[in-house]
Structure 1
């Protein structure tokens, strides 16, 4: 995955990341506020050696002292010294009660000994640190020649004013960081194992065919599904003009073209794509026929406000003449529409019949472009059969997570099985990407009238 892929995952799955961040904060806060505050106290000792009369004696004495300091550090936490401290302070448990509380160390290349003590009581920590220093001096005096080596208290411990642990800001920061990392990790793992289609990259993993068009998420489509109902210079209208242009380039052999519009599963936006594409083709001056071949759930007539009871099923059953079933729609009747007709008990047999193949041939002889709205590929075989009769198939794929890659792959294999030509993919409901070209508007400038009645371009 590249950086832009991680950013896309974070943008799409931010709820998981935020939730895990709050979980990390809650756990860190719970751990922090259930801990008993600990106070730290430190006493420091200085190890000195009787100096000689020459520089060599001084150097040897310092070397001797540095070597002795290591032994004294170990002696400071020995049971003998800790037991003496416990007895002096009257602590129950003896040396065992001080194990882990008293830590002795020495700064590198020095003759200093630090005795650090942690305890829930600041006063008690200071008492233990000072007592440990005194008892260490006593123990060293018992095993060393005090005329040569001498330990002295350089700094006595004082009660701390604030606890050394728990460190609330640090713990909270660590909890937040771990929560964020866990959230990002879970989001990335879910993305890796998620087979739902959410971007063009997901489609290209399955299909080698090109992307003919891409349409972003638009909540207004429920009220205004047709591009003629909105702004003719909107981004959606321009996207359909691009789709119209790209579709022309798929017509390699020239002449008339019959295109089946389908999808893998229901609800991906195939009908609205077919209807709007047909409208755009008709507006460009092409002679276009829009056919509703979805005999199970027809929607074309409803979208266009036409009569849907007379149409394709009647023509295929020879109960209605084609000329009587075709309706004109739009300005000047530029778009011709063949609705689905009455519900048929055998839609697959009708659409797969020789009559349908002859009808498509007739469509191609009378129109420049024929747009056929077909059912989804996975539930029924109708679109695959129609695709083998027509010039090719355009698959509409929803990029909102509705469709899985396996479903799209299955749909493509169904088309390959009948040797239907896949013209390309229309990507629908694509998430808005900040900074993309979809945010730029290039509508015509308004024309204003000058003083003498001349038309001059408006200024932005």
Structure 2
């Protein structure tokens, strides 16, 4: 038999285990902050751009077909830039202790749609190294592409430069903390409902009627020792008060 749960019951479960859920949220946010500020290594990015042109013709003019060809060939250039033919000389030039695959992971090549401009972005833990990788990759690509494809249509547009106060692009503490809060809330609420579902103890009159399918005739309240002491103390004070009233009445009668 399928069971349904109402919004009111959901709200009651959340209210009942709110402290438990908040613990998850704060714990996840705290862990995200620790990882972002003290564990994860900051990474810096730097970009260099080049433009793809046709080799200068005698009439010194470019047709629409030439421009379309340049845009199409950029996809090929993107693959060549990340190949060992380019990255191996970059490693040798900079003296990097990396393999070509590791260096390829640090480089991202992109271009806008229908644009002849290609952006080479390098990411590294050292901002200076990121600048060197981006600039050296573009320079070596410009030197090697004539021998690889027998063309000379690459010109450096802008070089990567090191700013005075470089800011890391990763990790992003605010974003990580926000993600931690969301995940903590999801896990907290999920576990809270799981605990509520697994809790099969009988606590209320409704639970008795639901489980046994019989009406509730009466309820016996739980009395602990503090209640008994309070009741005894109240009875003692009441007896003493009654006794005083009786003595006062007797004196007046005499």
Normalised by the length of structure 1, the TM-score is: 0.43
- Give the equivalent residue in structure 2 for 1:195: 200
- 1:203–1:269 Cα change, 3 Å: same
- Give the equivalent residue in structure 2 for 1:5: 9
- Give the equivalent residue in structure 2 for 1:99: 104
Residue among 29, 33, 40 paired with 1:29: 33
* Contact 1:116–1:129, Cα closer than 8 Å, also in 2: yes
Which protein has the bigger strand share? 1
* Contact 2:208–2:214, Cα closer than 8 Å, also in 1: no
Alpha-carbon RMSD? 3.0
Structure 1 stretch 196-205 or stretch 87-96: which is displaced more?
Answer: 196-205
Match status 1:71 vs 2:97: no
Question: CA deviation digits over 1:412-457, x for unaligned, max 9?
Answer: xxxxxxxxxxxxxxxxxxxxxxxxxxxxxxxxxxxxxxxxxxxxxx
SS in 2 for 1:104: strand
Which protein has the bigger helix share? 2
- Give the equivalent residue in structure 2 for 1:168: 173
Residue among 144, 149, 153 paired with 1:150: 153
Question: CA deviation digits over 1:132-190, x for unaligned, max 9?
Answer: 111111121222344xx511122211225111111111111111211111111100111
Compare CA radii of gyration and give the structure with the larger one: 1
SS in 1 for 2:160: coil
- Give the equivalent residue in structure 1 for 2:51: 46
* Contact 2:121–2:134, Cα closer than 8 Å, also in 1: yes
Q: Alignment length, in residue pairs? A: 219
Q: Measure, in 2, the Cα distance between the counterparts of 1:2 and 1:133.
A: 62
* Contact 1:87–1:94, Cα closer than 8 Å, also in 2: no
Match status 1:179 vs 2:131: no
Q: Measure, in 2, the Cα distance between the counterparts of 1:156 and 1:45.
A: 9
Residue among 74, 84, 93 paired with 1:88: 93
* Contact 2:78–2:110, Cα closer than 8 Å, also in 1: yes
Q: CA deviation at 1:22?
A: 2.3
Q: Measure, in 2, the Cα distance between the counterparts of 1:8 and 1:151.
A: 66
5+ residue gaps, structure 1: 212-259, 272-300, 306-460
* Contact 2:80–2:86, Cα closer than 8 Å, also in 1: yes
- Give the equivalent residue in structure 2 for 1:14: 18
Q: Measure, in 2, the Cα distance between the counterparts of 1:209 and 1:70.
A: 75
- Give the equivalent residue in structure 2 for 1:285: none
- 1:200–1:99 Cα change, 3 Å: farther
Q: CA deviation at 1:27?
A: 2.2
Q: Measure, in 1, the Cα distance between the counterparts of 2:39 and 2:55.
A: 51
Residue among 133, 140, 147 paired with 1:135: 140
Residue among 212, 221, 230 paired with 1:269: 221
Give runs of ≥4 in structure 1 deviating > 6 Å. Answer: 51-55
Q: Measure, in 1, the Cα distance between the counterparts of 2:183 and 2:205.
A: 32
SS in 2 for 1:66: helix
Q: CA deviation at 1:65?
A: 0.8
